[in-house]
């Protein structure tokens, strides 16, 4: 009887751990830059393979009509000199024209380190299991996840990664 109690006790405490692994979002199970494909404002496609391995990468999922995303974009622009060594990829699943309007409004074409595109297949949304915008993931030069930010960027941490 004692052995049965121990087995049941063990089972009760190990099942949640096993189940938790299956419920982790893909980016936590595979902590590397995902093989994304986004349509840029100039109607060309941009892929993970376009990223350089000489700089860290920041994948930023946003919505053009999100107030927090707009504020974060303004802060990125204001800190662009500190972020010059990071390649920033801003991705939305909103319609192409909304992304283009956002891109033009913030004049993001001025910044060669920033790419902005739409993900019509919602691959990025699903990979990061995005619940709120903005969502960001910071990767080192080798494409390995450093940290994710579900409630806005920690700019000091991102700037430190750029150094």
Domains of the chain: 29-162 (3.40.30.10)
Q: What is the pLDDT of residues 68-80, one digit of tens each?
A: 999 999 999 999 9
CA–CA distance, 145 with 131 (Å, rounded to integer): 19
Q: How confident is the model at residue 8 (pLDDT cuts 50, 70, 90)?
A: very low
Q: What is the pLDDT of residues 20-45, one digit of tens each?
A: 556 899 999 999 999 999 999 999 99
Name the more confident of 163 and 68. 68
And the tokens for 129?
């299991």
Q: Which residues in the chain belong to E strands, given as ranges?
A: 37-40, 45-47, 57-61, 87-92, 114-118, 135-139, 145-149
Q: What is the pLDDT of residues 116-139, one digit of tens each?
A: 999 999 999 999 999 999 999 999
């Amino acid at each position: 009887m004692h052995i049965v109690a121990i087995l049941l006790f063990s089972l009760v405490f190990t099942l949640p751990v096993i189940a938790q692994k299956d419920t982790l979002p893909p980016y936590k199970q595979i902590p590397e830059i995902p093989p994304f494909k986004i349509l840029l404002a100039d109607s060309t496609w941009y892929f993970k393979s376009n990223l350089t391995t000489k700089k860290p990468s920041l994948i930023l999922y946003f919505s053009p009509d999100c107030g927090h995303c707009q504020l974060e974009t303004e802060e990125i622009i204001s800190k662009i000199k500190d972020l010059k060594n990071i390649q920033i990829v801003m991705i939305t699943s909103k319609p192409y024209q909304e992304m283009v309007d956002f891109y033009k409004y913030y004049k993001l074409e001025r910044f060669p380190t920033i790419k902005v595109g739409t993900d019509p297949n919602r691959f990025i949304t699903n990979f990061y299991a995005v619940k709120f915008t903005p969502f960001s993931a910071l990767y080192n030069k080798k494409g390995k996840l450093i940290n994710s930010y579900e409630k806005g960027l920690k700019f000091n941490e991102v700037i430190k990664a750029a150094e």
